[in-house]
Amino acid sequence: MTETTQFTIGTQARCSDGDCGTVSRVVVNPVAKAVTHIVVEPKALADPSRLVPLTLVTEATPELVTLNCTLEAFGTLPPAEETRFLPGTPEYAGYGYAPGQLLSWPYYSLLMDGRGLGAGGVGLSEDFAAPVTYDKVPLGEVAVQRGEHVHATDGEIGKVQGLVMDAGDHHVTHVLLQEGHLWGRKDVAVPISAVATVDDEGIKLSVDKQQVQDLPPVDISEFSG
């Protein structure tokens, strides 16, 4: 199934052995500018909605979306917890969905033009002209979700707001973090090279609180949901 397929919200979704629910959202990657998943609400209201990758969609019409999996396999797909996503905004109108029908991965790209984080990325100073080299890791190797706790070497420092991705190869270069207390909060981009481990307790950094606090702030308020 290609990223250009248009899904009709409310369409019935069917597995190979029966109906599994209805399409309630689509999920987009704003850096790759592509739809990556659909969200299917199961028939049983008590069951969580499921995040279905496009690789499982074999056919999509206005009347029916067919999935290449059984009902049992559908039930093992990850829940579509909206806390890990950002709500759709008018900027995504080009996808053909209303804001309430669309979710976005909290992915961003870096720009060196000083415009700040937005439809372009985390901005740096306009007079910053020197080339910069960033450590990168493939997205599939970073099991980080929005809202996870971040720990410096000397204690908790904040929560994950999103990931910064290289627009060219979609590899992760930074973790976006809300750092500080109520009256001194700021959003910073922590280089991926400073991430030591990721486990059930969250992200553990190889730097201390002061080193994180010394990072320059970035503006992600427009996308923080």
* Residue ranges of domains in the chain: 12-104, 107-223
- Alpha-carbon gap, residue 153 to 193, rounded angstroms: 14
**CATH number for region 107-223:** 2.30.30.240
Distance CA 37, CA 177 (A): 25
pLDDT at 3 over 70: no
Q: Provide the percentage of residues in the chain whose pLDDT is more than 70.
A: 72
- Which pair of tokens denotes residue 119? 């439809």
Residue 59 has pLDDT above 90, yes or no: yes
Mean pLDDT of 48-55: 91
Q: Give the Å distances, CA to CA, from 100 to 5, 25, 91, 185.
A: 19, 8, 13, 29
Query: 126-181: per-residue pLDDT in tens?
Result: 333 334 445 545 555 556 677 788 999 999 988 888 877 776 766 778 888 876 65
pLDDT at 147 (0 to 100): 79
For residue 119, pLDDT over 90 is answered with: no
209 phi and psi angles, rounded to 5 deg: -60, -40
User: CB atoms < 10 A from the CB of 4, how many?
Assistant: 7
Average pLDDT over the chain reads: 76
Q: Are 170 and 185 in contact (CB under 8 A)?
A: no
What's residue 118's pLDDT? 42
Domains 12-104 and 107-223 share a fold: yes
User: Does 122 or 148 have the greater pLDDT score?
Assistant: 148
Tokens of 51: 């995040």
| Alpha-carbon distance values, 209 to 155, 181, 201 (Å) | 7, 12, 17
pLDDT for 64 equals 95
Please determine, for residue 108, whether its predicted confidence score (pLDDT) is greater than 90. Answer: no
pLDDT digits (tens, 9 = 90+) for 211-223: 988 887 776 544 3
Phi (first) and psi of residue 127, to 5 degrees: -95, 15
**Pick among 3.40.50.300, 3.40.50.720, 2.30.30.240, 3.20.20.70: CATH of 12-104:** 2.30.30.240
Q: How buried is residue 90: exposed, middle or buried, by Cβ count under 10 Å (0-12/13-18/19+)? A: exposed
Q: What span, in angstroms and rounded, lies between the C-alpha atoms of 60 and 7?
A: 7
Q: 102, 101, 120, 98: which is closest to 111 by C-alpha?
A: 120
Which amino acid makes up residue 96?
Answer: G
pTM (two decimals)? 0.65
Structure-token pair, residue 44: 């049983």
- DSSP classification of residue 78: P
Q: Are 186 and 176 in contact (CB under 8 A)?
A: no
Average pLDDT over residues 56-70: 94
